């Protein structure tokens, strides 16, 4: 049984379609990424799966339970770390955890032990009796993740887990998320609009734009799918090298620049040796050579026709609108 | 029950921790008690009651204190909405009813404590203890007021998105409820149309009940007061629970 099955899920807010008829499955033990610009429908999708929002139409099963008519079992199976903070700032770290433990009816002795273990894990054990309002953004995130794990969910939703965090904390969190996934075999679904985050963490990912899934695969596959690598060469005789390269069948294209040459090709690792050998045979010295693999940024560009940042600027107003509707 | 307790506990912890809120919300009732009480003491004579004016309004001010604190406690849900904490409770495998009841009991408890503080303070300015049973009757009515208006606060908060409407609530809900309740004037000497209006105000029965407990006299029989306020409280809790069930975050 997959961890999550989504069938034709749709959510409309006053005529605005935030999630548009999406279907996919997430296997157990995966780290699954939902990548897309702000306002693409990531949070709406997660909110429906977490039973906070009712879908307009379609079905979804979380841990085998229907999100519409078996909400309680869904809620017991999942942990969620929201995009916006959801801690009580007037309570201490320990009290926030304790409250959560009570909500999930964890027996007292187990609860106390687990809270200490989890607070240790996220490095907050020494601050456990401090009010949350004295915590930094990174500490709050870590506390929320610890809290989300307290009831040992089989599926953990992380909505933009590293938004607004400094690089160091982000790195720390990534390692931690991987550890959770490998160590405890927790299925993790995270949304992000950071390419490197999806690239580094996810086993599988879906690119979502304007409420639709436009691509779904492993990050490497997505990059492969979009085509070619680029090799940049600087040599003693760029013209000669260029003309001799033309004879090779696996080269897609070459471009001459002022003092270097770029080559578009597939499977660059395999062919780079051939290129070096060819230039040696023609007595051309290679001064420098670099391979550029396509990034998820290129993938996004490929699938949507725009970079994620352009998309962000144009959807900003749209997003605000959606936010407002969200509150209604 | 453990869920109700968890939510109640959170409310109490927050309350005990916010010293400024405790002191701040004592300000207005004390102000009313001292200014109105002593300001009008020498010129007002309440017919049919063997008490001076200060003694007369002490129950009203206690009720006021409970009213204000309880409505604010209920409305606090809006803050929980805005600061995101409500999501944490709504996504847990617990029923909305448990959350609402916990919140109501928490709010009523803090409101009760707040009223108790005023009651104790007023002992220094002329209230005298008649008997223990009277105190218990007063406590019962304070609790009922607390429950009733926390539930009303929750009902209002369930319908509001942010604190922008707060002024509206203050002016068109809280003050009218307080003003029309007979907390600061005897309802018997009102023109009959105005008396009818005061009898529609749930707080009137709370004030009357507390007054009976503390002073031993009241315009409305404590039994009727208890019955009416008890029924309205039940209705408020049902209304609050119904509206809270539909809350979206």
B163: DSSP letter: G
Chain A neighbors of B90, CB-CB under 8 A = 52
- With cut-offs at 50, 70 and 90, classify the pLDDT of residue B171: confident
pLDDT attached to residue A308: 63
Residue B158 has pLDDT above 90, yes or no: yes
Chain B neighbors of A90, CB-CB under 8 A = 13-14, 17-18
DSSP A45-72: HHHHHTTSS--SEEEEEETTEETTT-HH
DSSP B48-78: T--S-HHHHHHHHHHHHHHHHHHHHHHHHHH
Residue A312 has pLDDT above 80, yes or no: no
- The residue of chain A with its CA nearest to that of B94 is A103
Residue B216 has pLDDT above 70, yes or no: yes
Chain B neighbors of A86, CB-CB under 8 A = 83-88
Contact (CB<8Å) B248/A50: no
pLDDT attached to residue A307: 63
Residue A328 has pLDDT above 80, yes or no: no
Average pLDDT over residues A307-325: 52
Helix B132-159 vs helix B96-123: crossing angle, to nearest 10: 140
- With cut-offs at 50, 70 and 90, classify the pLDDT of residue A235: confident
Residue A180 has pLDDT above 80, yes or no: yes
Chain B neighbors of A75, CB-CB under 8 A = 91-93
For residues B220 and B208, the answer to whether their CB atoms sit within 8 Å is yes
Count of structural domains within chain B? 1
Domain that holds residue B30: 2-245
Contact (CB<8Å) B14/A90: yes
Chain B neighbors of A89, CB-CB under 8 A = 83
Contact (CB<8Å) A102/B83: no
- The residue of chain B with its CA nearest to that of A46 is B91
Question: Is any Cβ of chain B less than 8 angstroms from the Cβ of A43?
Answer: no
A285: DSSP letter: -
pLDDT, tens digit, 9 for 90 and up, residues A121-139: 888 999 999 999 999 888 8
What ipTM does this complex have? 0.89
Average pLDDT over residues B125-150: 88
pLDDT attached to residue A311: 54
pLDDT, tens digit, 9 for 90 and up, residues A217-229: 898 888 777 667 8
Query: Distance from B150 to chain A by nearest Cα, in Å?
Result: 20
Contact (CB<8Å) A80/B90: no
pLDDT, tens digit, 9 for 90 and up, residues B18-65: 888 888 889 889 998 889 888 888 888 776 666 688 888 999 999 999
CATH architecture of A4-223: 3-Layer(aba) Sandwich (3.40)
Q: Quick one: which H or E segment has residue A212? A: strand A212-217
A84: DSSP letter: S
> Average per-residue pLDDT in chain B?
90
Asked whether the domain spanning A228-292 has the same topology as the one spanning A4-223, the reply is no
pLDDT attached to residue B165: 83
Question: Is any Cβ of chain B less than 8 angstroms from the Cβ of A14?
Answer: no
- CATH assignment of A228-292, given 3.30.70.260, 3.30.1490.20, 3.40.1130.10, 3.30.70.1230? 3.30.70.260
CA distances from B210 to A53, A225, A250, B122, B220 (A): 45, 77, 93, 14, 11
Question: Where is average pLDDT lowest: A304-313, B8-17, B111-120?
Answer: A304-313
DSSP A117-179: HHHHHTT-GGGTTSBGGGS-HHHHHHHHHHHHHTT--SEEEEESTTTT--HHHHHHHHHHHHH
What percentage of chain B has pLDDT greater than the value 70? 96
Which of A165-174, A193-202, B62-71, B157-166 is the most confident on average? B62-71
pLDDT, tens digit, 9 for 90 and up, residues A102-123: 999 999 999 999 999 999 888 8
- With cut-offs at 50, 70 and 90, classify the pLDDT of residue B248: confident
Domain positions in chain A are 4-223, 228-292
pLDDT attached to residue B144: 97
């Amino acid at each position: 049984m997959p961890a999550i099955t989504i069938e034709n899920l749709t959510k409309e807010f006053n005529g605005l379609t935030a999630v548009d008829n999406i279907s996919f499955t997430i296997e157990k033990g995966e780290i699954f990424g939902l990548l897309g610009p702000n306002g693409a429908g990531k949070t709406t999708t997660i909110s429906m799966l977490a039973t906070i929002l009712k879908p307009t139409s379609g079905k979804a099963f979380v841990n085998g339970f229907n999100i519409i008519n078996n909400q309680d079992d869904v809620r017991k199976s999942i942990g969620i770390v929201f995009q916006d903070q959801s801690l009580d700032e007037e309570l201490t770290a320990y009290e926030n955890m304790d409250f959560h433990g009570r909500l999930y009816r964890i027996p007292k002795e187990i609860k106390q032990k687990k809270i200490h273990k989890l607070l240790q894990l996220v490095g907050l054990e020494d601050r456990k009796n401090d009010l949350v309002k004295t915590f930094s953004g990174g500490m709050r995130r870590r506390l929320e993740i610890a809290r989300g794990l307290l009831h040992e969910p089989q599926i953990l939703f992380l909505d933009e887990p590293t938004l607004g965090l400094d690089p160091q904390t982000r790195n720390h969190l990534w390692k931690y998320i991987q550890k959770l996934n490998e160590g405890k075999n927790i299925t993790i679904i995270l949304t992000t609009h950071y390419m490197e985050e999806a690239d580094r963490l996810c086993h599988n990912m879906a690119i979502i734009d304007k409420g639709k899934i436009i691509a779904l695969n492993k990050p490497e596959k997505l990059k492969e799918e979009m085509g070619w690598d680029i090799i940049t060469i600087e040599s003693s005789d760029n013209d000669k090298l260029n003309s001799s390269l033309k004879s090779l069948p696996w080269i897609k294209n070459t471009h001459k620049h002022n003092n270097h040459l770029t080559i578009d090709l597939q499977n660059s690792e395999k062919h780079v040796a051939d290129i070096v050998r060819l230039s040696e045979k023609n007595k051309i010295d290679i001064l420098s050579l670099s391979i550029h693999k396509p990034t998820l940024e290129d993938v996004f560009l490929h699938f949507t026709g725009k970079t994620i940042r352009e998309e962000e600027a144009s959807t900003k107003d749209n997003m605000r609108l959606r936010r407002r509707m969200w509150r209604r | 029950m453990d869920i109700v307790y968890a939510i109640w506990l959170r409310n109490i912890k927050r309350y005990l921790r916010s010293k400024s809120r405790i002191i701040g919300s004592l300000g207005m009732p004390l102000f009313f008690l001292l200014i109105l009480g002593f300001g009008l003491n020498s010129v007002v004579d309440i017919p049919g009651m063997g008490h001076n004016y200060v003694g007369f309004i002490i129950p009203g001010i206690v009720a006021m204190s409970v009213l204000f604190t309880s409505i604010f406690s209920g409305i606090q849900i809006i803050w929980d909405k805005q600061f995101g904490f409500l999501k944490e409770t709504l996504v847990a495998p617990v029923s909305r009813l448990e959350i609402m009841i916990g919140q109501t009991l928490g709010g009523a408890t803090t409101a009760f404590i707040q009223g108790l503080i005023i009651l104790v303070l007023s002992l220094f300015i002329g209230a005298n203890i008649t008997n223990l049973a009277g105190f218990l009757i007063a406590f019962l009515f304070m609790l009922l007021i607390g429950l009733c208006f926390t539930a009303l606060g929750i009902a209002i908060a369930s319908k509001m998105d942010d604190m922008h409407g707060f002024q509206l609530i203050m002016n068109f809900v809280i003050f009218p409820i307080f003003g029309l309740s007979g907390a600061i004037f005897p309802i018997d000497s009102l023109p009959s149309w105005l008396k009818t209006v005061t009898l529609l105000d749930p707080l009137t029965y709370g004030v009357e009940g507390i007054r009976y407990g503390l002073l031993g006299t009241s315009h409305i029989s404590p039994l009727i007061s208890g019955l009416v306020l008890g029924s309205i409280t039940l209705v408020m809790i049902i209304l609050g629970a119904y509206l809270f069930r539909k809350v979206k975050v």
